[in-house]
Structure 1
Amino acid sequence: MDIRTINLPIPLELTLDLTEDQFYELCQKNQDLKFERNRSGVLKIMSPTGGETSHRNFNIAVELGIWNKQTKLGIAFDSSGGFKLPNGADRSPDVSWIRSDRWFSLTPQQREKFVPLCPDFVVELRPSSDSLKSLQDKMNEYRENGAKLGWLIDPKHKRVEIYRPQQEVEILENPTTLSGEDILPGFLLDLTLIW
């Protein structure tokens, strides 16, 4: 069979019965791939991003990193960081952050593997190939699992959805900046780096 004739679903999703350790080992042995699992254990294999999305993710991570280095209020993560959410899902936000007290309350073993909590702050950057609905579902999942602030950034449409606990999603059209509010005090993301 010619491999070019196989039509695989995009994104590729598989249902595998894996323990936490087996899932972690699968990820470690296949570091060229990015995996996530939903709370039902369905494994999603995600493709690498294109150049524009990767560049935008990097800019957001750098800006958050500079702010975090100055304030020393928490620990920041890039898109390769994995989190075991309270509902059992394994997720890797594009950019995320945890307050220092929450990070240092974890054991060294917990910090070594997928972090067993939901970040306080998450960013998902929508590539043009990703379904908006799937990203909105993921943002709602973060919020339901304890995220205090989340940004779903859609560069193509210059639109941002802001997720906060027990509030309606706020939608901003073509904003120039985003505030970290009281979760990331003093953090302001310049969206001209993203648009």
Structure 2
Amino acid sequence: MATALITPPEEASLSSVETVADLVRRLGDIPLYRIRTQPPIGTATENDVVRHKCCELIDGVIVEKGMGWEESILEIEIAALIRNYLQQSCIAVVAGADGYARMRPGRVRVPDVGVYLLNRFPTNKAPRVAICDVAPDWAIEVLSRSNTKKEMELKRADLFEAGTRLIWIADPRKRKVEAWTAVDEMDLLTPQDTANLDEILPGFTVSIGDWFGQLDRVMESGDS
């Protein structure tokens, strides 16, 4: 495993946005087609993000999540591994890409997979709400071709600020996982590694090679 130290990103804010170029930059240099213009930019609410589905709310702007077959397969695969573990040890709940989490007022993020320890909820059970007030303990993001480095920096900053302890950024094309424990601390996991998740899910491990290998078992070979 390799370790990297990354400078925390600048805080995103739409208070000074005057041009489309500035808006795109503040959202992490994402493609324009992922920025919804209805409701009008700067006016979107939490009700809007729930209605649109597969989107996030960033300071009054609805932003579509990057989606794809490879990403979906990996998300379901690791969620299934986690769910199998939780069948024997019901200490957490695992949510998918419609598991909204409120970072702060006006900021709603949606990890591709989120693991939430039940002891962080007042009743030790997840609430029946559209948007959860608790950030995931472990957030997993599987990169799509439309995700950008800056976008993921901004998302990591939001998650850590809200209380997330571990963030995985998985790249299905490069077959690597960045395991972030803070905005400036990251271990690089490769297919030769087995990740130990003891600090969140005692006794739970993930073979990175087996996880990525699911793509080879079910998908045609293609461009990287």
Q: TM-score, normalised by structure 2?
A: 0.70
| Counterpart residue identity of residue 35, structure 2 | L
State the identity as a percent. Answer: 23
Higher relative contact order (Cα pairs below 8 Å, separated by 6+ residues): 2
AA paired with 1:184?
A: L
Partner residue, 1:85? 103
**SS of 1:127's equivalent?**
coil
Gaps of 5+ in 1: 1-7
Instruction: Provide the rounded CA distance (Å) in 1 between the counterparts of 2:166 and 2:61.
Output: 26
Tell me what 1:9 maps to: 32
TM-score between both structures, scaled by the size of structure 1: 0.79
The question of whether the paired residues in 2 share the 8 Å contact of 1:75 and 1:103 is answered with no
The residue that corresponds to 1:156 in the other structure is 173
- Point out the more displaced range, 174-183 or 49-58: 174-183
In 2, are the aligned partners of 1:158 and 1:175 still within 8 Å (CA)?
Answer: no
- Specify whether residues 167 and 131 from structure 1 end up closer, same or farther in structure 2 by C-alpha distance, changes over 3 A only: closer
**Cα gap change, 1:140 to 1:166, in 2 (>3 Å):** closer
Per-residue CA deviation, residues 112-143 of structure 1 (Å, 9 max, x unaligned), is 22001211110001123322331232123211
Question: Quick check: 1:37–1:89 contact (8 Å CA) kept in 2?
Answer: yes
Assess, with a 3 A threshold, how the Cα gap between structure 1 residues 130 and 61 changes in structure 2: closer, same or farther: same
Q: 1:95 to 1:165 in 2, by over 3 A?
A: same
1:87: Cα distance to partner?
Answer: 5.8
Q: Do the aligned partners of 1:148 and 1:164 also contact (CA within 8 Å) in 2?
A: yes
Equivalent residue number for residue 54 of structure 2? 34
Aligned residues: 179
- Alignment map for 1:79-118 (pairs within 5 Å): 79-86=97-104, 88-105=106-123, 111-118=128-135
Tell me what 1:134 maps to: 151
Structure 2 unaligned spans of 5+: 1-30, 214-224
